[in-house]
């Protein structure tokens, strides 16, 4: 091997080692069942001249299944455009019509490739999906005097006391 080839390899190695990517996520997102969850992810790199990149989201375990390929999330995900990913450094997603089973930890992973490969991931966002307090409850009040049930449709504003 010639010295010039060795120097070229060392220069490429040094360039790849000097690249750093930092991925940031919001620690927790709380949403109501049936609504849309915004899972935000952004990144910073020491060199933004890398033309080819992409991102993935994983649920529960980092580097496991990409949720973009999961039937469970089919037709419920909105991704950032390629332009926003590259120019605004955003790898955020929106998960529509969330259900209780969507509750969990979501990891954002960003990667770029050129003459070398660089990858980084966030610490995760916990998505907490809750059910609204609305429902139908039938309460019999003072059964000796009133034999008709009372139907409550909004439990958020209801306080029940017993005498």
Strand duo 117-121 + 104-113: pairing: antiparallel
Domain that holds residue 92: 20-132
Range of lowest pLDDT (2-6, 28-32, 106-110, 153-157): 153-157
Say how many domains are in the chain.
1
Whole-angstrom distance, CA of residue 54 vs CA of residue 73:
19
Residue 152 domain flag = no
**In the sheet that 37-39 helps form, which strands lie side by side, from edge to edge?**
37-39, 93-95, 77-79
Residue range 134-160: average pLDDT? 45
Q: What confidence score (pLDDT) does residue 65 get? A: 84
* Residue 35, domain member (yes or no): yes
Return phi, psi of residue 116, to 5°.
-145, 170
Residues 35-90 have pLDDT tens digits of: 999 999 999 987 656 668 999 999 999 888 899 999 999 999 999 999 999 899 99
Question: Taking the alpha carbons of 43, 26, 84, 116 in that order, is the dihedral positive or negative?
Answer: positive
pLDDT exceeds cutoff 90 at 154: no
The distance of Cα 1 from the centroid of its chain, to the nearest Å, equals 48
* Residue 79 covered by a domain: yes
Instruction: Supply the pTM of this predicted model.
Output: 0.69
Q: Look at phi and psi of residue 75 and say left if phi exceeds 0, alpha if psi is from -120 to 50, else beta.
A: left
Q: Is there a domain that residue 140 lies in?
A: no
User: 25-30, long-range: CB within 8 Å, 24+ apart, which pairs?
Assistant: 25/107, 25/108, 25/122, 25/123, 25/124, 25/125, 26/125, 27/123, 27/124, 27/125, 27/126, 28/125, 28/126, 28/128, 29/125, 29/126, 29/127, 29/128, 30/128, 30/130
127 falls within a domain: yes
Asked, for residue 161, whether it belongs to a domain, the answer is no
The neighbouring-strand residues paired with 23 are 43
Q: Does residue 3 fall inside a structural domain? A: no
Is residue 7 in a domain? no
pLDDT in tens, 10-19: 444 444 445 6
The enclosing domain of 116 has a CATH number of 2.60.40.10
Are 117 and 15 in contact by the 8 Å Cβ rule? The answer is: no
């Amino acid at each position: 091997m010639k010295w010039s080839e060795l120097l070229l390899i060392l220069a490429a190695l040094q360039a790849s080692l000097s690249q750093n990517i930092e991925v940031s996520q919001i620690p927790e997102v709380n949403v109501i069942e049936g609504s849309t969850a915004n899972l935000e992810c952004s990144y910073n790199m020491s060199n933004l001249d890398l033309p080819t990149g992409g991102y993935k989201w994983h649920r529960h375990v980092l580097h496991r299944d990409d949720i973009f390929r999961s039937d469970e999330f089919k037709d419920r995900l909105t991704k950032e455009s390629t332009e926003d990913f590259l120019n605004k450094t955003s790898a955020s997603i929106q998960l529509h019509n969330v259900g209780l089973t969507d509750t969990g930890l979501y990891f954002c992973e960003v990667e770029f490739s050129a003459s070398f490969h660089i990858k980084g991931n966030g610490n995760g966002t916990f998505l907490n999906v809750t059910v609204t307090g609305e429902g139908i409850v039938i309460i019999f009040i003072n059964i000796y005097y009133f034999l008709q049930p009372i139907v409550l449709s909004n439990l958020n504003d209801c306080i029940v006391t017993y005498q």
